[in-house]
A and B are shown apart, each in its own frame.
Chain A
Amino acid sequence: MNHALTITNLTKVYDNEFEALKGISLVVKQGDFFALLGPNGAGKSTTLGIVSSLVNKTSGTVKVFGYDIETDLVKAKTQLGVVPQEFNFNQFEKVFDIVVTQAGYYGIPAVEAKISAEKYLKKLGLWDKRDEPARLLSGGMKRRLMIARALVHEPNLLILDEPTAGVDIELRRSMWDFMRELNEQQGTTIILTTHYLEEAEALCRNIAIIDQGRILANTSKKELLQKVSAETFVLDLDKPINSAPELEGFECRLNKDGCLEVGVAQEQDINTLFTELNKQSINVMSMRASSSRLEELFIRMVEGEE
Chain B
Amino acid sequence: MGFNKTLIAFQTIVVKEIRRFMRIWVQTLLPPAITMTLYFVIFGNLIGPRIGEMNGHKYMDFIVPGLIMMSVITNSYANVVSSFFGMKFQRSIEELIVSPVPNWVILTGYVTGGVVRGLLVGLIVTLLSLGFTDLQVHSPLVMVSVALLTAILFSLGGFINAMFATKFDDISIVPSFILTPLTYLGGVFYSISLLPDFWQAVSLANPILYIVNAFRFGILGVTDIDVGVAFLMIIGFTVVLFCLSLHLLNKGKGIRS
Contacts and interface: CB of A to CB of B under 8 A. Distances in A.
A90, A107, A108 pick with most chain B CB within 10 angstroms: A107
B92 A107 contact: no
Interface stretch (A77-85, A194-202, A256-264): A77-85
Interface string B1-23: 11011101101110110010000
Interface residues of A, number: 33
Given A88-B90, A91-B90, A104-B9, A74 B1 contact: yes
B95 A107 contact: no
Contacts of A142: none
A178 interface: no
A166 B105 CA distance: 36
A80 B98 contact: yes
Contacts of B90: 88-91
Contact of A102 (B8, B97, B99): B99
A149 interface: yes
B87 A105 contact: no
Contacts of B86: 90
B96 A105 contact: yes
Contact of B5 (A80, A101, A107, A149): A107
Nearest to B83: A90
A90 B95 CA distance: 10
A91 B92 CA distance: 9
A77 B99 contact: yes
A54 B256 contact: yes
Most chain A CB inside 10 Å of its own CB: which residue of B91, B94, B99, B256: B99
A74 B98 contact: no
Contact of B9 (A14, A88, A107): A107
Contacts of A174: none
A110 to B, nearest CB: 8
Contacts of A52: 97-98
Interface string A58-78: 000000000000000111011
A90 B92 contact: yes
Interface in A172-218: none
A280 interface: no
Contacts of B92: 88-90
A220 interface: no
B100 A104 contact: no
Given A88-B91, A101-B16, A106 B100 contact: yes
B1 A107 contact: yes
A105 B256 contact: no
Nearest to A77: B100
Nearest to A87: B91
B8 A104 contact: yes
The 3 A-B residue pairs whose C-beta atoms are closest, nearest first, are A107-B5, A104-B12, A105-B99
